[in-house]
Amino acid sequence: MPHLLHIDASFRLEGSVSRGVAATFRDSWPGTVTHRDLGREPLPHLSEPLFTSGFTPAEGYTAEQKEAAALRDTLIDELLSADAYLFAVPMYNYGVPSAFKAWIDHIFVVGQTVGVEPSPVAGRPATLVLSKGGAYGPGTPKEGWDFSEPYLVKILSEVLELDVHVITAELTLADTTPQMESLRGLAAESLARAHEAARLRAGRLALV
């Protein structure tokens, strides 16, 4: 039975588009799941005890290093124990939510998950569900402003060496923003496509 690590990063517990699309994926996922909800339970930011514990022998830990390392080790265990990944990540301020960045800062440890060839999770399938209030494709007024998707795809596929598949729901602010009224049809199409892509992706992974 394949095991999925599902991470939600939206702080919205109700009405979140990324959570909704991830839930569609989950509905078709046949295996077991570890769900880490960074919106409900945010991780601490990267700190000196956390960072230094990555290269200090455990016998020499301070109390702060011990506590920070215990959480980091739990998160790395969750990463290593999964066969597949589902990351649901909204765009905040043209970038990645700090909640998700904190997760990355915990699990990127040189010699364990980073800088080892091959990566311990190399080739595992990752589904990256992105929700964006606007649109950033070629020819849009904000083309070039998306610092979320390129960053996430780069680090997940080239640092962790995951097999990344991106599903995007864009223009999610259209329904509630009067100036975006003319884009509501496109927003609805994008959302429907994202749900369908999530359903198909989970089903396809189930057959592997």
CA 181-184-188 angle, to 5 degrees, is: 170
Which residues fall within 8 angstroms of residue 186, CB to CB, at 6 or more apart? 135, 171, 174
190 binds ligand FMN (CB under 6 A): no
168 binds ligand FMN (CB under 6 A): no
Q: Which is nearer to ligand FMN, 93 or 179 (CB)?
A: 93
Q: Could you write out the DSSP letters of every residue in 171-205?
A: -TTGGG-GGGGGGHHHHHHHHHHHHHHHHHHHHHH
86 binds ligand FMN (CB under 6 A): no
Q: Which stretch binds ligand FMN (CB under 6 A): 51-59, 78-86, 114-122, 126-134?
A: 126-134
92 binds ligand FMN (CB under 6 A): yes
Please, what is the minimum distance in Å from the beta carbon of residue 174 to ligand FMN? Answer: 10
Please, what is the minimum distance in Å from the beta carbon of residue 148 to ligand FMN? Answer: 8
- Reduced to 3 states (helix: H, G, I; strand: E, B; else coil), residue 91 is coil
Q: What is the footprint of ligand FMN within residues 16-75 (CB under 6 A)?
A: 16-19
Amino acid identity for residue 171 in this structure? L
